[in-house]
């Protein structure tokens, strides 16, 4: 019978358990400076942000859509620390750069992310609560956002577009304390996230990796 290195296993287990609080502390204290650093990258690549906004405008050419705005925020929070020269975003955004699609005087849809290392990262695709989308936009709005990213990448000569997979999206259920009801609601939310993120990426030709859906810009030209 093969022997089992229980000491080695227990040692690795102790190390893993010790790292759990370390990781939590790192996430707690590093999330804000990382967010701010990504905000600075957004400002540095502001010309590319303009190309992204124009691409979103073209993709969302529809009588239901009244405007597309850009929000850059240096701090984590629903609308805290918005750059004073730009409109605010009333939908909670998980990244410093947010594109907002408006219907009349309401913020209807958002896409948030950042630009870094010649890559456009998309962290969030979300619709506002209690907004009834036009039937022709209801199923295709995530694809319009990501097609905008591909178009902007070609225009700005970005090497990649990356979309977070649904498995990495955080789901928080606060409407009930019942465990079974929470599980039911989370399953429904996960199903919608699968459609919004993973199926959209598959339709647009993104390759799947462990951490991101990745689209390589075939028109990318390396700087000389």
- At residue 163, the pLDDT reads 98
Q: How far apart are CA 60 and CA 78, in angstroms?
A: 24
Per-residue confidence band for 48, with pLDDT thresholds at 50, 70 and 90: very high
SS3 string of 162-201?
Answer: EECCHHHCCCCCCCCCCHHHHHHHHHHHHHHHHHHHHHHH
What angle is formed at CA 133 by the lines to CA 106 and CA 214, rounded to 5 degrees?
A: 95
Q: How far apart are CA 126 and CA 60, in angstroms?
A: 15
pLDDT reading at 129 higher than 90: no
- 83 near 99, Cβ under 8 Å? no
Neighbouring CB atoms inside 10 A of 48's CB total: 20
- 198 near 133, Cβ under 8 Å? no
What pLDDT, in 10s, does the model give residues 136-176? 998 899 999 999 999 999 999 999 999 999 998 877 766 67
Per-residue confidence band for 80, with pLDDT thresholds at 50, 70 and 90: very low
Which of the residue ranges 3-12, 175-184, 185-194 has the most confident prediction, judged by mean pLDDT?
A: 185-194
- At residue 23, the pLDDT reads 55
Q: How far apart are CA 51 and CA 160, in angstroms?
A: 15
Provide the angle, in degrees to the nearest 10, between the axes of the packed helices 46-59 and 6-44.
Answer: 90
pLDDT reading at 177 higher than 90: no
- At residue 53, the pLDDT reads 96
- At residue 28, the pLDDT reads 60
Span 112-124, mean pLDDT?
95
Widest Cα–Cα separation across the chain: 72
- At residue 214, the pLDDT reads 98
Q: How far apart are CA 86 and CA 125, in angstroms?
A: 20
Q: 88: burial class by Cβ within 10 Å (0-12, 13-18, 19+)? A: middle
- At residue 3, the pLDDT reads 43
Q: Domain 45-216: state its class.
A: alpha beta
Per-residue confidence band for 206, with pLDDT thresholds at 50, 70 and 90: very high
- At residue 217, the pLDDT reads 97
- At residue 189, the pLDDT reads 80
Higher pLDDT, 74 or 18: 74
pLDDT reading at 13 higher than 50: no
Could you state, in order of their start, the residue ranges of all structural domains in the chain? 45-216
Write down the mean pLDDT value for the chain.
83
CA dihedral over 97, 103, 104, 105, signed as positive or negative:
negative
- pTM for the structure as a whole: 0.83
Tell me which long-range contacts 168-175 makes (C-beta under 8 A, separation of at least 24). 168/211, 169/193, 169/197
CA distances from 14 to 3, 24, 25, 176 (A): 20, 16, 18, 35
CA 36 from chain centre, in angstroms, equals 16
The three-class DSSP label of residue 111 is strand
């Amino acid at each position: 019978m093969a022997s089992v290195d229980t000491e080695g296993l227990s040692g690795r287990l102790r190390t893993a358990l010790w790292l759990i609080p370390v990781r939590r502390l790192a996430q707690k204290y590093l999330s804000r400076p990382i967010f701010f650093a990504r905000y600075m990258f957004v400002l540095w690549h502001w010309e590319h942000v303009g190309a992204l906004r124009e691409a979103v405008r073209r993709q969302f050419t529809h009588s239901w859509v009244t405007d597309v705005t850009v929000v850059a925020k240096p701090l984590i929070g629903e609308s805290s620390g918005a750059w004073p020269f730009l409109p605010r975003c009333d939908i909670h955004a998980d990244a410093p750069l947010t594109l907002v699609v408006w219907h009349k005087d309401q913020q209807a849809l958002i896409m948030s992310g950042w630009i870094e290392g010649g890559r456009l990262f998309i962290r969030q695709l979300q619709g506002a609560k209690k907004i009834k989308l036009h039937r022709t936009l209801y199923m295709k709005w995530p694809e319009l956002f990501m097609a905008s990213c591909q178009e902007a990448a070609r225009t700005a000569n970005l090497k990649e577009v990356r979309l977070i997979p649904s498995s990495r999206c955080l789901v928080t259920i606060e409407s009930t304390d019942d465990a079974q009801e929470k599980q039911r609601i989370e399953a429904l939310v996960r199903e919608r996230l699968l459609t919004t993120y993973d199926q959209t990426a598959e339709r647009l030709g993104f390759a799947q990796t462990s951490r991101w859906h990745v689209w390589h810009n075939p028109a990318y030209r390396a700087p000389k």
